[in-house]
Amino acid sequence: MNAIELGLFASRLESVCEEMGAVLRQAAFSTNIRDRLDFSCAVFDRDGNLSAQAAHIPVHLGSMAYAMANIVGALDWSEGDMVVLNDPFLGGTHLPDVTLVAPLFAEGRLVAFVANRAHHADIGASVPGSMPVSRTLDEEGLIIPPCRLVAQGEIDRPLLTRILGATRNPDDARGDFFAQIGANRAGLTRLRGLIDGLGVSAYAEAIRALDDYAERLARAALGTIPSGRYGFEDVMDDDGQGTEAIPIRVTLDVTPAGINVDFAGTAGQVAGNINCPLSVAAAAVFYVFRCLMPPQTPACAGTFRSIALSAPLGCLLNAQRPAAVAAGNVETSSRVVDVVLGALARAIPDRIPAASQGSMNNLALGSAEAGAAWDYYETIGGGMGAGANGGGWSGVQTHMTNTLNTPIEVLEARYPLRVSRYALRSESGGHGARPGGEGLIRELTFLAPAEVTLLTERRRGAPWGIAGGGPAGSGRNRVNDEELPPKVSLRVESGDRLIIETPGGGGWGAEPAREA
């Protein structure tokens, strides 16, 4: 296969993932999937190694790339199967992220898999939005180990009914599950067309060629990092259960043979829900190094062959059951990005930006009132860190998430909420020769009583500047005039106002001295 044929092959694989995403979005019922685009789609080889992905959610895709081989290797597969799972310790991330995996058979052989992962705003937790300030995994909702939702083309109705029965709005949940099934079926159809056109042996050879090409590009890019050992440490604000300033420590060993990323020295797993499985930490690591590679680098298994990852068993980034993990996927992954970037800044300072907002500012809310139950979940943008080539963007999602905001019109039409204010937060970006991006102010007025959960970070610590740039402003959470902690659950009444001020991004470079 020559270079042009390989490029076309890579594009066709990626288009399979993009079409899966289009089907999932258009068929979904929930605002979380349809409007915020909180989902991801990918193609894997017969062994569960990543072959292609769409430009969806980094924390979804990287964790699937890390864990899929274990998932598919533990099961016997038949044509027409689809396996559903959300267990963080068996290949998932946190319980709201539900994954569907489907095998593709051709010429009588297992050839590939398609998969999609989508965030369900309700997976049966004790509070609306299924993002509680939890202490154990069981408190976070329904745990789904890998099991067949579809067996040889037939949906397991009792299993689906059991899953839907855990939710407050089974009609929306049913629509989202059927959208996920439809997305996989669309992916299988398109991928089968590609494989039938090439033949199974030629397809497998093309996958090997794509992996090798990606590895060459990745090694060339990572080879520009000077050999040496580089370390960095940052902290999580708290775990929501009384423990504060929780350290995450990384050491990068860079050699011509590759890069070893070691999280020895990171805090042990904690009582609160900022723990995460190693697959989530891996997603953050893969994301950072992928950002250093050329744009044309394929997203496949070969891309990450030269990167090794380790974290002590039972630490914050390699937590063990029954650790709570709801915020690990969203908040801790963001801090892992910060510490890896911080370590790289000591090796290649001109290529690394200041810290971005460092939080997804998770807001989960709703009501369990009989006949009027509702759930809503969103993440809120903030400031991007500045770099040598430009200032940080304002009011955007950064690093490990890639979702949209929910349009105000949709939010107000579907839920008893009014968006009273939605604006950039002036002076929240870090000062410097290139200033960091500004955070956001999101103010909601409740039109009915509701339960609210906030899982946020960078409320005590600030996103750091770099190369002499200043830190960004920390975030704030308030109900009416009352300050709230970074992680909290509370009840609000009709007329109450929730104000979330998200962090900015750090500045880059010292500001020029002003003339007297």
| Residue of 358, 424, 322, 370 lying closest to 88 (CA atoms) | 322
Query: Total structural domains in the chain?
Result: 2
* 217, two tokens: 């590009």
Please spell the DSSP secondary structure of 279-308, one letter per residue: HHHHHHHHHHHHHTS-TT---SGGGGTTEE
- Residues 469-490 have a mean pLDDT of 97
Residues 387-407 have a mean pLDDT of: 93
On the question of pLDDT at 515 being above 70, the answer is: no
CA-to-CA separations, 173 to 120, 161, 162, 330, 422, in angstroms, rounded: 7, 10, 12, 22, 29
pLDDT (tens digit, 9 = 90+) per residue, 12-65?
999 999 999 999 999 999 999 999 999 999 999 999 999 999 877 788 878 888
Mean pLDDT of 114-134: 94
Asked if the structure places residue 143 within a domain, the reply is yes
Is 208 found in the same domain as 59?
Answer: yes
Cα(180)–Cα(100) distance, integer angstroms: 7
Q: Which of 389, 399, 383, 395 is nearest to 433 (CA)?
A: 389
Q: Is residue 403 part of a domain?
A: yes
Q: Dmax over Cα atoms in the chain, in whole Å?
A: 80
Considering the domain boundaries, does residue 247 fall inside one? Answer: no
- Of 163, 198, 215, the residue at which a domain comes to its end is 215
Does residue 489 contact residue 495 with C-beta atoms inside 8 Å? no
Distance CA 411, CA 2 (A): 50
The last residue of one of the domains, among 215, 237, 255, is 215
In a domain, 502, yes or no: yes
453 vs 296: which has the higher pLDDT: 453
Spatial distance between the Cα atoms of 173 and 164, rounded to a whole number of angstroms? 6
Residue 109 burial (10 A CB sphere; 0-12, 13-18, 19+): exposed
- pLDDT at residue number 136: 97
Decide which of 186, 215, 244 is a domain's last residue. Answer: 215
Q: Are residues 211 and 357 in the same domain?
A: no
> pLDDT tens, 85-106?
999 999 889 999 999 999 999 9
Domain span at residue 154 reads 3-215
For residue 342, being part of any structural domain is answered with no
User: Is 81 domain-assigned?
Assistant: yes
Flag whether 254 is in a domain: no
